[in-house]
A and B are shown apart, each in its own frame.
Chain A
């Protein structure tokens, strides 16, 4: 069966510090991968999605970047965090062949920028 991992679960970082959040998927090949952010009391905002290694689409201009160095690994990064980067970060995957209409979400990372 497929599983998705995100770490860390919670993170407190000072303004101006770098960020690296990692997401890995097991049990599937060549998934589409997604990063979302959810600010407190708000809906989810799609940040990036990837259809393959090294292929990243950015949906919202911001202080963040994403990379996909391996088929089942998706990384969200920032060189200098802003207070507005605080939120709940969710990674998701989709099997474009077997279950093309469904996205599956990981447990999320709750980031607080102080």
Chain B
């Protein structure tokens, strides 16, 4: 499975959009992009996934570049409860998700 590169940490003001980037330049054609987040001392929570097209759900939007080598997770109106570590994962099979160290997002008042 391809590896991903994410910034170690990011800050975002409450109420503003949080844009979390992810590079996955070696992604193959049948690999999906998944996003999970982990609030301190809890299990990870699924956010969204995509293959080629941009996706949106009640939690976030996922923007995937046309060449699929990078993506951005967008939290449209960040709240303090969105403070967490965000993991970008690329994988063919949902059974074999490899979690890296992710991006630590700090939302401040």
Q: In chain A, what residue has the closest Cβ to B85?
A: A43
Does B32 lie within 8 Å of A103, measured CB to CB? no
0/1 interface trace, chain B 8-43, chain A, CB 8 Å (1 if under): 000000000000000000000000101010000111
Taking CB atoms, residues of chain A closer than 8 Å to B34 are 101
Q: Report how many A-B pairs have Cβ atoms within 8 Å.
A: 54
* Smallest CB separation, B53 vs chain A (Å): 14
Q: For the side of the interface on A, what is the size category?
A: 20 to 34
- Interface set of B (CB-CB < 8 Å, partner A): 32, 34, 36, 41-46, 49, 87, 94-102
Task: Say which residue of B43, B49, B96 sits within 8 Å of A105 (CB atoms).
Answer: B43
- Interface set of A (CB-CB < 8 Å, partner B): 32, 34, 36, 42-46, 49, 51, 57, 59, 88, 90, 92, 94, 100-108, 110
* Smallest CB separation, A101 vs chain B (Å): 5
Q: In chain A, what residue has the closest Cβ to B51?
A: A101
Q: In chain B, what residue has the closest Cβ to A90?
A: B43
Q: With A44-B44, A101-B49 known to touch, is A94 a contact of B87 (CB < 8 Å)?
A: no
Q: With A43-B100, A43-B102, A49-B95 known to touch, is A102 a contact of B43 (CB < 8 Å)?
A: no
Task: Say which residue of A42, A45, A101, A105 sits within 8 Å of B44 (CB atoms).
Answer: A105
Q: How far is the CA of A95 from the CA of B46 in the complex (A)?
A: 13
Q: How far is the CA of A100 from the CA of B32 in the complex (A)?
A: 12
Q: A interface, by DSSP: helix, strand, loop or mixed?
A: strand
* Smallest CB separation, A88 vs chain B (Å): 8
Q: With A43-B99, A43-B100 known to touch, is A101 a contact of B94 (CB < 8 Å)?
A: yes
Taking CB atoms, residues of chain A closer than 8 Å to B94 are 94, 100-103
4 closest Cβ pairs, A-B complex: A105-B43, A44-B99, A43-B99, A102-B46
**Beyond A88-B41, A101-B34, A101-B49, 10 additional pairs, beta carbon < 8 A:** A36-B99, A43-B101, A44-B87, A46-B97, A101-B94, A103-B36, A103-B97, A105-B43, A105-B44, A107-B42
Task: Say which residue of B32, B36, B42, B96 sits within 8 Å of A59 (CB atoms).
Answer: B96
Taking CB atoms, residues of chain A closer than 8 Å to B95 are 32, 34, 49, 51, 57, 94
